[in-house]
Amino acid sequence: MAQSEARAAPEPRGAEAATKAAVFNAAERLFALHGFQNVSVRDITAEAGVNLASLNYHFGSKDALLFEIFRRRTIELSRERARMLHEATHRAGGKPSVRDILEALFAPPLKWADPASDRRISVQFLLRARSEGTAPMRDVLQNDVSHLERFAQALKTARPDLAPETLYWRLHFALGMIHNNRFAEFDRLNHLSGGLTREGDIPALLKQMLDFAEAGFDAP
């Protein structure tokens, strides 16, 4: 438990920072489950088992805390994706296949979404940030596309025959496939399929997504 918290929260060195970490984790969890506007500072501090005023003491404000969680998780996810893309590029001698590029895009958030992962909730937080995020978050999502530019460039190298416009659209579609992996959408799909789709089986889901998206990129 302490280890899990240590991995999930920012540098919990002394007993003092334990409070900060508890607030961070409780906030991420509640925000991911119930939405940003439906969770109050009182809810967070109660869940964390700390005093009401400690949130403002450690983070300044509710919005600043929200942004801190968003920033940290975004950086972590981008880094994992960039590392996978870099490795795939190296393995392929500079020109990875479309499937390898897509795997670098899909695998990190899917690995987080594993029921056994302590990042399971972080994915849901980031997905919420896309639609419910505050203005500073939207600014980051809007302007910081450098992380995606590497993927667009790799796709151009892999498929120089495709029109750039088509390529960007297909990247957009692939991203849409990931962004739809919210708890509520999984539940809806389970309800529709009568329980056939088991989103807990991450390797199977990754294969399904790669099969679909790779074929989509191969369309004429």
Partner DNA sequence: GTCTATAGATGGATAGAC
Partner DNA sequence: GTCTATCCATCTATAGAC
Give 132-165 as a 3 state SS string. Answer: HCCHHHHHHHHHCCHHHHHHHHHHHHHCCCCCHH
Quote the CA–CA distance of 220 and 217 in Å, as a whole number: 8
Quote the CA–CA distance of 107 and 213 in Å, as a whole number: 13
With binding defined as CB under 7 A, does residue 34 bind DNA? no
Query: Looking at 7, 51, 192, 203, which residue binds a copy of itself (CB under 8 A)?
Result: 192
Q: 16 is in the binding site of which of a copy of itself, DNA, none (Cβ under 5 to 8 A by kind)?
A: DNA
What part of residues 128-167 is at the interface with a copy of itself (CB under 8 A)?
A: 128, 130-132, 138, 141-143, 145, 148-149, 152, 164-166
- How many other CB atoms are there within 10 angstroms of residue 152's CB atom? 15
Query: Looking at 52, 53, 172, 200, which residue binds a copy of itself (CB under 8 A)?
Result: 172
Query: Looking at 17, 64, 178, 206, which residue binds a copy of itself (CB under 8 A)?
Result: 178
109's tokens: 């958030």
Phi-psi region of 201 (alpha: psi -120 to 50; beta: other; left: phi over 0): beta
Query: Looking at 98, 126, 202, 209, which residue binds a copy of itself (CB under 8 A)?
Result: 209
Q: 142 is in the binding site of which of a copy of itself, DNA, none (Cβ under 5 to 8 A by kind)?
A: a copy of itself
Per-position x/- string for 36-55, each x denoting binding to DNA as judged by CB under 7 A, each - no binding: ---xxxx-------xxxxx-
Quote the CA–CA distance of 45 and 27 in Å, as a whole number: 8
Quote the CA–CA distance of 206 and 220 in Å, as a whole number: 24
Nearest distance in Å: CB 49, a copy of itself: 27
